[in-house]
A and B are shown apart, each in its own frame.
Chain A
């Protein structure tokens, strides 16, 4: 027992005197994890994108060829799919940003402690149920004879046919990722000192002026942090397009999935998968400019 304590004390003292060694010990395991699994996977992806596949035997042919990229550039469908994916991801992000504001503001500024706990639970509880169950639920809501049309006809409105369409994807994605926007936004709004709002009022700004000139700029990093989640989660998804999409609803992920699982053309899939990597790199650089990383 005594021996052990001495050993621990010596280790602790060593760590205190050599800060670098202590940090290295703490960062080592996650660092190895990051390098071995994450960076190695991306490296393998980038290398495979230049390989080809033998038509007959299906074997991978290592090498350095731009044939996959040439194919991607020559057929307009891959541009259409990329633009569709990025456009819907942007629309979902905007929608969630708009929807999250009143909720986040009411939760941290207006609600009492009890109501606040209830609102927080409302945001988090859907995350406890399966993603697939929630997407399937939406499929039933939006279907031809679903709850939506049933409700519309009950109040005398004509049916809408948005099941299995890009509209359906937009609604379902916006629903799925809303909590990921609300949480960082609420945290950012909460961090604004109430004294600033009072100062704004004292200086003659009304509610809207205070919101536009004080709250919005100060909460912007939180909103951009949320946008990183909503944008990247939509950009990489292929299950929601598969389940609630209709015709002309494929995402980049669906093309990758089909080339890996159906045609066994992994190099082509890898070449296409480099595109979202680039898009996210640009997005993250912009987000950093807007201070999102300080708000995470």
Chain B
């Protein structure tokens, strides 16, 4: 199960930067190779986003499985990894999901060091606002559950919230006044592209082949067993095929004759022009539909809603943007004069219970990791970790077990609509 010869990965550091500056930055090592596909691999991972690259990295690093190709139809990190609003948190309601996301958060906390690539994980805290009495009950419940699951969390009152976010409208006479919030101090944001690049660079160094501009056109199966993938660069045989291609899961499943409990929908997001620091935490409000943080570059990064219809167009309806900005202006009246620079859509795979599907399918050797809906970015390290473990051992990692495909037959759904919210 050995892949390409591992190579020594040049370590990034301030000192290295100085050294390279002396040579006008002419001698930087490539972050990853651009290899020709081999005829066969032990494992082919379909999808070169954060989840797929993380899976490849942990397969190689933790399990020594380096005979791996990541097949990406476009460019690394070009799907939802590069389109999301980068919120990272683990304060989910149900045990199953909070364990998974918390595992992921712990990986986030050391990820830049692990990958020797600054993913700019910024644990600046996440506020989930409550605007109604029922929302406050739900927040109390979720925070309590988080604590019992070992996830530090707090309930804040409007005064405490206003101290953290002075520009927020916490007036009691607003349409949906802020009654309180859950606060996860360890949550925050990260630099999305860097996550893909960091995993890609390290996976490549371990010998994983990253095949960009290689589109999977078919999944071959014989007697109910997956044997490889047809691609725009020819057939690639594999003992295991692992699909981690958010926004395309249904299409890939269909290639193997499967259907999934998934619908693919546009999720929209937008950024403002860069402005000086004015928002130091992540603010999320389900009732008012506002999800906002300020990126290090200064732009306000705002998650909008999911369109109600299925779509693969990476764009959505303008009314979603309107509703989102109404919510932003309602919650932050001072932002009304700030200007939107860009808005765009990503395609998210939505499961009925707002939870992912991780594991083997009825086709032996064909695995899926999908259905992360609007919140997959925060799970990137954890998702890759448990999926790699699942692939390496041919059985679900304990944290992934509750998220098998069977649950849609048994009824054991992990209902996270409350905590997953509308977005992120």
Co-complex (A, B): no
Using CB atoms and an 8 Å cutoff, list the residues of chain A in contact with chain B.
none
Using CB atoms and an 8 Å cutoff, list the residues of chain B in contact with chain A.
none
